[in-house]
Chain A
Amino acid sequence: MRVISHWLKPEIRHGAGYPILLLGGVALLVSAAIGIADRTTRADIARRQLEDLQATLQQVVPAEYYDNDPVRDTVTVQEGHRSVQVYRARRKGRVQAVSFRTTAPGYGSSEMVMIVGVDRDGKLLGVRVISHAETPGLGDKIETSKSDWILGFAGRSLSDPPPAGWGVKKDGGVFDQFTGATITPRAVVKAVKGGLELFAHHRAVLLDESSGGNDR
């Protein structure tokens, strides 16, 4: 108590070292508070993020394809200079489908992030855009809430349409572009094709059941 009352005396606040001590003390206190808050919230935040990921994966791989927890059954493959984490959906131990994130530079200020689901025969189950910065009203038709455009990828594969058809109609392909926005759908089509190629390159590794959840 005497220490506290000593520090509460007004004279002490006029000392030359007081501002330094004050700033240091406040910094220490707030760091401690943030440290404690981090420890309290970390587990909850990790759980919420896992739930988010599961919800996203469910959009591109239908529930009847798996009885495992794809979020925990992952394989990491190298594609070019980037490494991609692939989530595997298994049913009765057999890998039925995989899903992974892929990105494409769009028209907006940041990359579009997409999640792609592919079944074991290399056929697309679904594509969804998770985040993007495309122009509202023009390029944002890639969202399911704005347009059904992105649902058109389901059932496609590298041979359907043939390679020349993997583009927007303006470039001689089979996919629609949007009025006033060609760059966005063009980038999405290219990224989805890239995703299918990634699957084709690494098919053997991805479907290798014995490597079961080495990243678990």
Chain B
Amino acid sequence: MNDYRGIFADGLWNNNVVFAQMLALCPLMAVTSTATNGLGMGLATTAVLLASNVVVASLRHWIAPEVRIPVYVLLIASLVTLADMAINAWLHELYKVLGLFIPLIVVNCCVLGRAESFASRQPVSAAAADGLAMGLGLTLALVMIGACREILGSATLFSHASLLLGPAFTFLEITLIEDYRGFLLMLLPPGGFLVLGFLLAGKRVIERVAEKREVKEEFHCSVQ
């Protein structure tokens, strides 16, 4: 069980796709102008990551090392195509919000990265957990960056969430300041990089504080 805890700690914090591995920056800049878009893109990527990790892990004994990369690319590309078709046909409202970005999941290198570095050498269950954890970590990052950009850029939070999640989630849509003039920079890609930079710095600070605390505690123990 400890193993799974490690996998999720890696996915959500220690080895987070965005905040630690610095991958997936291309779809990140494109979609995170609102928190809702980030959430939708994160969940769609999570589904693809989970599926690709499971497929790669269950085929790992048969995939010849010489052709493993083309095989992974084929598998991932077709999974994304399937997701694109399914969302277009059965979740059309979501498709109208995310349509352009779903094919971008293919170029998200974290999917291929997890297939190569984790799923290809782990049992199916661990690979599934890794796909889920990495996907949720990515979703968390996308929602955080999207929320920062949305609040600063247009003073709303989770606008159009009901389009994505259904009318029951209208309560998520918050307008912080009526008649806000808008802060254009935050909505354009440079705003994404700025927010990402500040969040990365924040993560470093948190880690450093935690480290110091650990050292202090150790010191305490040795004195006593």
Contact = CB atoms under 8 A, between A and B. Distances in A.
B109 interface: no
A41 interface: yes
A121 B110 CA distance: 57
Interface string B82-113: 10011011101001100000000000000000
Interface stretch (B6-14, B180-188, B197-205, B216-224): B180-188
The binding surface of chain A is classed by DSSP as helix
Interface of A: 13, 18-20, 22-23, 26-27, 30-31, 33-34, 37-38, 40-41, 44-45, 48, 51-52, 135-138
B63 interface: yes
Given A19-B64, A41-B88, A136 B184 contact: yes
Given A30-B78, A34-B78, A136-B188, A22 B89 contact: no
Interface string B149-192: 00000000000000000000000000000000010100110000
Interface of B: 33, 62-64, 66-67, 70-71, 74-75, 77-78, 81-82, 85-86, 88-90, 92, 95-96, 182, 184, 187-188
Contacts of B92: 48, 51-52
A45 B74 contact: no
B182 A26 contact: no
A13 B62 contact: yes
Nearest to A30: B78
A22 to B, nearest CB: 5
A135 B187 CA distance: 10
Contact of B88 (A19, A22, A48, A136): A48
